[in-house]
Amino acid sequence: MPDEGADAHAGPPLDNIDYVLSTTRAVRKRLDLERPVDPAVIAECLRLASQAPAGGNVQNWRFVVVTDPDIRAGIAAYYRRGAEDYLAAGVARARTDQQHRVASSSVYLMENLARVPVHVLACVKGRPPLRDNQAAAGFYGSVMPAVWSFALALRSRGLGSVWTTLHLAFEREVGELVGIPANVTQVALLPVAYTVGLDFKPAAREPIERFTFWNRYGEIKTG
């Protein structure tokens, strides 16, 4: 129950972990392209992200924070080259309102990426192992928790982002723009900005019971 003495006009409870977990959305159209972001806030969120678990407790992640407008424009140009055909196909395939909204917001991000005030390239040292699922899972699993912790920390401070990978068709070229060595793998690009409004809601999801199996795949717990 809500606190009867709580301020009815107070903002959303961004210090409540369950609320943050259930309302951290992929933000594209609601990124504030005009409001500057203090680098200290990004550093604070990355400091929290560094507490995420990693395989062997070896922090092989690396983050490249890009605020220079010219470099952001360069990244955005490669992103467009990697995204344009893919997103056009997505728009053509969209049938439901939800699919149209996602396709439209993805195109919006492509067209406005250079204007997003901060680009964060999440990387991990080394190159992904080929044809070895166990090694590949460990490789990516050593950076993904930190990236998601970063996204949650952003949300709790009124900022938003979206995990996107469409620039990776030109990983090497983007890497050269910012000096990422060839033996370091880019995993994701997170465009970061304050959000227009804070009132994000939990997304519509199928009941978790449909996707949770007990003891054997396909066996749904009853009773």
For the stretch 63-115, pLDDT in tens is: 999 999 999 999 999 999 999 988 888 888 877 877 888 889 999 999 999 99
Answer yes or no: are the C-beta atoms of 48 and 42 closer than 8 Å. no
DSSP label at 54? Answer: -
Q: Is 60 exceeded by the pLDDT of residue 26?
A: yes
DSSP label at 28? Answer: S
What CA–CA distance (Å, rounded) separates 222 from 80?
48
Residue 33 corresponds to which tokens in the numbers above? 């392209």
Q: Which residues have CB under 8 Å from 198's CB, separation 6+?
A: 11, 12, 14, 158
Answer yes or no: are the C-beta atoms of 166 and 69 closer than 8 Å. no
Mean pLDDT of the chain: 92
For domain 30-195, give the CATH number. 3.40.109.10
- pTM value is 0.91
Mean pLDDT, range 49-62, rounded to an integer: 92
DSSP label at 130? Answer: S
For the stretch 172-223, pLDDT in tens is: 999 999 999 999 999 999 999 999 999 999 988 899 999 999 999 998 877 6
Going from N- to C-terminal start, the domains of the chain cover: 30-195
pLDDT of the residue at 10 = 63
Q: Which amino acid is present at 42?
A: I
Query: 66 to each of 5, 16, 75, 147, how far by Cα in Å?
Result: 43, 30, 9, 16
pLDDT of the residue at 6 = 42
Residue 76 corresponds to which tokens in the numbers above? 């955005």
In 3D, which of 120, 122, 118 has the Cα closest to residue 193? 118
In 3D, which of 114, 154, 123 has the Cα closest to residue 27? 154
